[in-house]
Amino acid sequence: MTQPIDIRISNLDLDDLAQFEGVVAVFVDPEGKLDAGARKVNSLTRKAVARFIEGDAFSALDEGAVSPLAYPAGMAAVCVLVVKLSRRPSQENLRKAGAALAKAHKAQPMRILAGNLKNAQELAFGMAMRAYDFDVHKTEDPKVLGPVQLQVSHPEAIAEAAKAGMAVTEGVFFTRDLVNEPANVLTTDDFAARLAAMQELGLDVEILEEADMEKLGMGSLLCVGQGSASPSKLVVMQWNGGGDEAPFAFVGKGVVFDTGGISLKPAAGMEDMTMDMGGAGVVAGVMRTLAMRKAKANVVGLVGIVENMPSGTAVRPGDIVTSMKGDTIEVINTDAEGRLVLADVLWYAQERFKPTGMINLATLTGAMLVALGHENCGVFSNSDDLSKDLLKACAAEGEGAWRMPMGPAYDKLIKSDKADIKNIGGRFAGSITAAQFLQRFVKDDVPWCHLDIAGVAQVKSETTLSPKGATGWGVMALNRLIADVYEA
């Protein structure tokens, strides 16, 4: 997998600064006050920093932004980066500043003079997150980044505080890699193998094959992949870091490629359907993070991995399948396949693990993009308490989420004349009817949230913490949810 950049945390050392050949970053607060590192650089450069902050360019900078002073006189450095940041900055601005430094980071070594900057580990986190680059399939020489030193006044404390963030970064990068991979590489077999490899982190990983799922009666999940040469799988990842309590469950949709099946999608944009396993990717990334930081909670992650292809064996519009629960489903549109996968995995998770709560994630509906764009995922829930905890975690990590309505009136739109339910309603309320479909496979006493991440799993332009492409949305928030609410 893509490895995060190595950020070495060390004691602030200004003695050899004049001879350092590379990039030096210093911090100036919005009022123009220089910290120790900035004062030293200002002295070495004959007050070049002071002249810069007196000008309009510094005033125009947002907090957390960076501006370069190239080839500063009096120093061997190729550049000084001036970071506009309060001495007690918010988490958001710290991460923003770290991301800005990552974008400025090239082949030269970088020395970041953070000194007494409060919560400097968040700066390191922002830098690590934004430095992601998926280049595994490029034949040109890989981009080589210079070493980074984050120099602070209390390196031991900052290094210890940074460990949790580095575990999250690993989880996010794992998710991004999975979502960015093309479907000819990330086959159902390859996806399952990558998850099985996480056993080395202490996860218990089990792979259910098609024969196992047939015995369980998973006709809903299995019908989605029956047109593909790639076998469908159900992967179960368990992290047992708590006591004897039942686990919390994460469930993910893992459609490695979605053609729409017989209800074939238009050609334009179909290449983006490599990301239709984004929900499963987030579940995998969260489980990786929990294992790496040895979370004191019991958590199980379950992902249904399939490929939706048209062929002579593919499920057809009008077919009726039977779910593990026993409910029959009329397949009206084979491109509404994600809910068919999730239905059986949700039921299996409850039957086997009796979870204390359950969250499923899926790139489920185009209607979610129409409703919320790329800024927020849609949250649907049967529990005010769980949804409140989830939204709080999302807000704390800066991952946009918005609760959407549900209600029995929407069930009328997916009522079937021939079966217990049909897999799609009409044109209106498409994301809500998808959630209503899923709720049918959630037991009344199980707190549950459905996250439709169609708009946030992959984006066409960069965000603060990620380049364009896969974002890894949800790993940060779901890790925080477990840490804040469910850890012993």
Q: Which residues are catalytic?
A: 265, 339
Assigned token pair, 65 = 């932004």
Tokens of 160: 């210890």
Q: Say which amino acid occupies 248.
A: F
Dump the DSSP string for 202-231: T-EEEEE-HHHHHHHT-HHHHHHHTTSSSP
Query: What whole-number distance in Å separates Cα of residue 62 and Cα of residue 377?
Result: 27
Q: How many other CB atoms are there within 10 angstroms of residue 38's CB atom?
A: 24
| E strand or H helix that includes residue 41 | helix 36-44
CA 85/CA 94 separation, integer angstroms: 8
Regarding beta strands 110-115 and 148-152, do their DSSP bridges make them parallel or antiparallel, or are they unpaired?
parallel
d(CA 297, CA 117): 32
Is residue 389 a contact partner of residue 485, using CB atoms and an 8 Å limit? yes
> Pairing relation of β-strands 469-470 and 320-322?
unpaired
- Residue 299: helix, strand or coil by DSSP? strand
Quote the distance between the C-alpha of residue 429 and its chain's center.
Answer: 26
